[in-house]
Amino acid sequence: MASTFHGLEVGKRALFAQQSALSTTGHNIANANTTGYTRQRAEMQATPAISNPGMHSDQSPSQLGTGVEVNKLVRLREEYLDVQLRGETKNAGYWEAKSDSLTKVEELLNEPSDDGLAYTMDEFWKGWQELSKNPDSAAARAVVRQRGVAVTETFDHFSDSLTQMRQDLNNVIGTKLNDINSLAKQIGSLNDQISRLVPNNYQPNDLYDQRDVLIDQLSKLVSVNVQTSPNKNGMVQVFIGNSTKALVDDRTANTLTLGSFTKSSTSIVEGQIAIVDANSGAATPFLLGSGELLGRIESFGLDKNGSLTGTIPEMQEKLNKLAKTFAEKVNEIHRSGMNLDEIRPPQAGSTIYRNLDFFVKKDTTAPDLAAGNLEVNPLLFESLDRIAAAQVEGTNTSSTGNGQNAQLIAGIKFDHQLDFGNIGQSNKTTADDFYRNIIGQLGIDSQEAQRMQDNSEVIIRQVENRRQSVSGVSLDEEMANMIKFQQAYNAAARVITTMDQCLDKVINGMGRVGL
């Protein structure tokens, strides 16, 4: 049998339920522009009816309803879209890092232009060609020497700039590691807060949103795999790459570390990327798989089985090989020629230099000529006459008008037998073709990285649009819900008013007949 005040209780429950739904709608509207916010919905269900069938309960054929209650506040979010978005975000981060490094190298080489190495080398060959026509001209010799200086300065600029890029990447990698570890700590802290609320039957939806935003940010830096914690209570475990050790293990945030650099701080040994346990200090090595951090590391140079690879190290290696082969060939022919000091009658007390190198090492302790270790022989700055433009005509003799050696050096431009070794292209070719191949491959790699980045960003936008269609706040929809809940609230209030009038009649009006 229902209570006399049953109607008031039903109305009261309706008021509370509609008020909660209105508050939830207001919360959605307030966070319409909040990054990472997931719209919420108040799920309502009927409260237990009167009465439940039983031996000692009312045996009436139907049950009397007791009203409504908010069962839970649901986050409207689809986990599959989160997984898909994070998978594409890591790819976008990886290709963005690769594209950034390749673009910077392209800007450094600046080809084709009048400031690039190709133009500088071409002017160098032209200088020797002019010298072959006027081998006794001091002006022509000065041009050759100065254009040789221009070539060495260009190589040196490239070498220094690439080295600086690697140092900058080293700093960026350190910053990204700090970002990853900071995100891990924040996720662990949110796990802790959530685990204190869930067992008490609270629904920390806003904390879930904050945690998802952090995981989304982490997914751009590294490949992430999010799993529900075995300990439940709303916590998650976050794994990265192919690691079997969680970066975030419930409340505990472990530390991602990067092994020390090898080869005089020029490369990173694969396998030195590890997760260090926060409690035991044990390191678990693993492979990153993808993400911006991996893209930065590969651009810096990843050492695999002793073989140096990476965007910048490979470019340094190619430029060093070009500089070495180019300089050695010029030196080889220059040593075989005769300079004016050898041709003219020697002056008393003067030193005659024979078989001089045109290019020498700036650092004499270095093993080889290289892009960053190349300069014009200082002896040529003491006297232009020491440039060997002539070839031997008779028995160790020649003439001041002989420019055959200069012609041979100018002909190096068309020498297809220069051996550059097997570093990703044909072993033997001209210096110009070798450099053009470097530029061409760089352009192809840069375009590929940019294309892959663009493709990933297109997919990310598509997935994000789908996720927003599920989780995003639509102001039009929320306004419609607000009107719906408002009318229901008004109706519930009217029920209470009506029941109050009925009770007033019962309490104040009954039993007063004849008074």
Residue with tokens 């472990």: 254
pLDDT band at 288 (very low <50, low <70, confident <90, very high): confident
Q: What is the Cα–Cα distance from 313 to 327, expressed in whole angstroms?
A: 21
DSSP code at position 290: S
pLDDT for the residue 59: 58
pLDDT for the residue 52: 60
**What DSSP element (H or E) covers 98?**
helix 79-109
The helix/strand count (H/E) of the chain reads as 12, 17
pLDDT tens for residues 86-143?
999 999 999 999 999 999 999 999 888 888 899 999 999 999 999 989 888 899 999 9
3-state helix, strand, coil split of the chain in percent (to 5) is: 55, 15, 30
pLDDT for the residue 398: 63
With contact defined as beta carbons under 8 Å apart, do 36 and 216 qualify? yes
Q: If you write DSSP's letter for every residue of 3-40 in order, what string do you get?
A: -TTHHHHHHHHHHHHHHHHHHHHHHHHHTTT-TT---E
pLDDT band at 55 (very low <50, low <70, confident <90, very high): low
Structure tokens at 370: 């290289």
Q: Look at residue 261 and tell me whether its pLDDT is greater than 60.
A: no
pLDDT for the residue 57: 60
Q: Look at residue 300 and tell me whether its pLDDT is greater than 60.
A: yes
pLDDT tens for residues 475-495?
999 999 999 999 999 999 999
Overall average pLDDT of the 364-392 stretch: 88
Q: Look at residue 466 and tell me whether its pLDDT is greater than 90.
A: yes
CB neighbour list of residue 372: distance below 8 Å, 6 or more residues apart: 155, 156, 159, 160, 163, 320
pLDDT for the residue 348: 60
| Range name among 52-61, 449-458, 504-513 with the lowest pLDDT average | 52-61
Question: What are the residue boundaries of the structural domains of the chain, listed by start?
Answer: 6-76+474-509, 82-105+164-311
Structure tokens at 75: 């986050």
pLDDT for the residue 358: 92
**pTM: predicted TM-score of the whole model, two decimal places:** 0.85
| Residue 473, SS3 per DSSP | coil
Task: Report which residue type is found at 136.
Answer: D
Q: What is the Cα–Cα distance from 171 to 113, expressed in whole angstroms?
A: 31
Cα dihedral 409/410/411/417 (nearest 10): 60
Where do the H-state alpha helices sit in 134-204?
138-197
Per the model's pLDDT, the better-predicted residue between 1 and 413 turns out to be: 413
Structure tokens at 369: 């000529």
pLDDT band at 216 (very low <50, low <70, confident <90, very high): very high
Q: What is the Cα–Cα distance from 298 to 7, expressed in whole angstroms?
A: 71
Residue with tokens 């739904």: 21
Measured in whole angstroms, the distance separating CA 97 from the mean position of its chain's CA atoms is 4
Q: What is the Cα–Cα distance from 200 to 190, expressed in whole angstroms?
A: 16
Q: What percent of the chain has pLDDT over 90?
A: 51
Instruction: Measure the CA angle with vertex 413, ends 385 and 431; round to 5°.
Output: 115
pLDDT tens for residues 133-176?
988 889 999 999 999 999 999 999 999 999 999 889 988 998 99
Q: Look at residue 267 and tell me whether its pLDDT is greater than 70.
A: no
Residues comprising the chain, all counted = 515
pLDDT for the residue 401: 78
How many C-beta atoms surround the C-beta of residue 155 within 10 A? 27
Q: What percent of the chain has pLDDT over 70?
A: 89
pLDDT tens for residues 343-365?
777 666 667 778 889 999 988 88
Per the model's pLDDT, the better-predicted residue between 237 and 65 turns out to be: 237
With contact defined as beta carbons under 8 Å apart, do 338 and 326 qualify? no
Question: Which backbone phi and psi does 491 adopt, to 5 degrees?
Answer: -65, -40
